[in-house]
Amino acid sequence: GLAVNSNSNSRGAGAHHSNQQGGGGRNSSDLKNGRKELRGLGQVAEVDSGLAMDINPMKHVTGSSTDTWTGGEESLFRVLYKVFPGNYCAIAQMMVSKLCNQVYEKAALEREYLDTDLQKEYTPPKKKKKKQQHRMWSNHCKKIQLKKDNGPEPVHNYFPCDHPGQPCDDSCPCLKATNFCEKFCLCPSDCTNRFPGCRCKAQCTTKQCPCFLAVRECDPDLCTLCGADQYDVSKISCRNHMVQRGLGKKLFMAPSDVAGWGIFIKDSAFKNEFISEYCGEIISQDEADRRGKVYDKYMCSFLFNLNNEYVVDATRKGNKIRFANHSINPNCTAKVLMVNGDHRIGIFAKRYIQPGEELFFDYRYGPTEQLRFVGIEREMEFL
Side-chain half-sphere exposure of 300, counting CA atoms within 13 A: 10
Whether the CB-CB separation of 190 and 341 falls below 8 Å is answered with no
How many C-beta neighbours within 10 Å does residue 13 have?
A: 11
Residue 226: which residues within 8 A CB-CB, separation 6 or more? Answer: 198, 199, 200, 201, 202, 203, 204, 209, 218, 236, 237, 238, 240
Q: Residue 156's CB: how many other CB atoms inside 10 A?
A: 16
User: How high does pLDDT run on average in the chain?
Assistant: 75
Long-range pairs, 231-237, Cβ under 8 A, ≥24 = 237/201, 237/202, 237/203
Identify the pLDDT of residue 22. Answer: 42
Q: How far apart are CA 94 and CA 111, in angstroms?
A: 20
Inter-CA distances, 52 with 18, 34, 35, 62, 95, Å: 16, 9, 11, 14, 11
Q: What is the largest CA-CA distance in the chain?
A: 112
SS3 at position 309: coil
Q: Which helix (H) or strand (E) holds 176?
A: helix 173-176
Q: What pLDDT does residue 144 have? A: 57
Q: Which residue type sits at 106?
A: K
pTM for the whole thing?
0.58
Residues of the chain with pLDDT under 70: 1-66, 115-153, 365-383
Q: How far apart are CA 247 and CA 159, in angstroms?
A: 27
